[in-house]
Amino acid sequence: MKTILSSILFLVIIAPAFAENASKPEQDPYEQWLTTTPCAGKVVPIDAIENRGVLYKAENIHGGRGPTFLVKNNAEKTGKSVIEIRDARCQVIGSFGMFASDGPYGARYYTRSGGSGIDNVGLLNAASKVGSTNILIEGTNGKWIRVKNPMNREGSL
pTM across the whole model: 0.76
With a cut of 70, which residues of the chain have pLDDT below it?
Answer: 1-38
Q: Which residues pair with 141 in a beta bridge?
A: none
Using an 8 Å Cβ cutoff, are 157 and 55 in contact? yes
Q: Model confidence over 85-103: pLDDT tens digits?
A: 999 999 999 999 999 998 7
**The predicted structure's pLDDT at residue 12:** 45
The DSSP element (H or E) to which 51 belongs, if any, is none
**The predicted structure's pLDDT at residue 34:** 52
**The predicted structure's pLDDT at residue 26:** 60
Residue whose C-alpha is closest to residue 105's, from 62, 153, 53: 53
CA atoms within 13 A on the CB side of 101: 13
**The predicted structure's pLDDT at residue 63:** 87
Using an 8 Å Cβ cutoff, are 66 and 115 in contact? yes
Residue 8 backbone phi and psi in degrees, to 5: -65, -45
